[in-house]
Amino acid sequence: MHNDDAFATMLLMSQMSANRDEIERPLSWAEYYQLRARVADSSIKQLGNLIGMDLFAIRRDLDMTENEAYKLCVLLNRIMPLSYALEKFGLAGIEISTVDEPGYPEKLITRLGEKAPPMVYSSGDLALAGQSAIAMIGISSSKADGNEMAARLVRAATDAGLIVITGGESGFGRTVELEAGKQGGRVITFLAESLSEHIRMQGMSEMLAGGRALLLSSVHPDAKYTASHALERNKCIYALSGAAFVISCEKGRGAAWDGACSAMRNRYTEKVYVWDNKALPGNQELIERGATPFTDPTQLPLHEMKRVWDTPAFEQMSLFDL
């Protein structure tokens, strides 16, 4: 069951279909947070109270233009299509969580603030998003044995009791997922493309059923991959992790490079490690920019990281002391 604020968020933000144009485009993340603040400062107070209001009342109480109020009315009146969509998603094992609900991943709000997606689609145990985890970033075109290094890091993280987080992309992301499954570990995959299809990937249904996997996405479950989706996804991958490990990236371009630079600049995660491989210029550049190099996953203080992250906040030491 969703509260009125959550339902209003879904009405304002949801695409009812990945391939169909809407009468009015759903709000962007920035537009949503601006509206949320505007409502809180008005006599309306909560987003859920917008449901059922007419155009005149919205214009008056939010001091909006007619066009602005009309757009909100159109979006908020999509109750029946949204109900059908929620039923369809539920039958496929997909749920929606919004920033107005307790189940929404708290780390996204804490780390990203108003850069966090107002709503996320999920399949699996949402409680995994609150547990100690490391992010793993890489590109599938790497020629420097990146997949083998990724598998070694998954094994070390699983041995330490840590969840691994990946983007689920073909090649690198699937290597992380499959190795986590093979090792009896746990994985969170934050997607930039179809969640509906990913549920059916090899081994995924078993991990989901066993509470060892969580699939997340901020885009429609049938959406295709885009570069903008990948940039939004990468922020979330870093924010859900205690530390991130870049296995490979292209220097100066690509989602892996942009995501790592943004995470280091904005502190989306506490620490960024990079595989110190001279055959990967992008990795070397990230190290020069301040990332911490590593060569052997078995020498990383992963057990100590988990101990620190599992310690109540008021007792924690800084990860930078490790």
Render pLDDT for 133-170 as a digit per residue (tens, 0 to 9).
999 999 976 665 888 999 999 999 999 999 999 999 88
CA neighbours within 13 Å on the CB side: how many for 144? Answer: 16
Total-model pTM: 0.93
Q: What is the pLDDT of residues 179-189, one digit of tens each?
A: 999 999 999 99
Cβ contact 216:189 at 8 Å = yes
Ranges of beta strands (E only) in 178-232 are 187-191, 213-217
Burial class for 127, CB neighbours closer than 10 Å (0-12, 13-18, 19+): exposed
Distance CA 268, CA 93 (A): 29
Residue type, 316: Q
Q: What is the pLDDT along the chain (322 residues), one digit of tens a residue?
A: 789 999 999 999 998 876 666 778 999 999 999 999 999 999 999 999 999 999 999 999 999 999 999 999 999 999 999 999 999 999 999 999 999 898 899 999 999 999 999 999 999 999 999 999 999 999 976 665 888 999 999 999 999 999 999 999 888 999 999 999 999 999 999 999 999 999 999 899 999 999 999 999 999 999 999 989 999 999 999 999 999 999 999 999 999 999 999 999 999 999 999 999 999 999 999 999 999 999 999 999 999 999 999 987 655 555 555 5
Q: Which CATH class is domain 121-321?
A: alpha beta
Q: Dihedral of the CA atoms 275, 184, 164, 145 (nearest 10)?
A: 30
Q: At what angle do helices 302-310 and 146-159 cross, to 10 degrees?
A: 50
- Quick one: CA dihedral 235, 238, 244, 247, positive or negative? negative
Strands (E), the chain: 95-98, 119-124, 133-137, 163-166, 187-191, 213-217, 243-246, 272-275, 292-294
Q: Please state the domain extents for the chain.
A: 4-91, 121-321
CA distance 97 to 18: 18
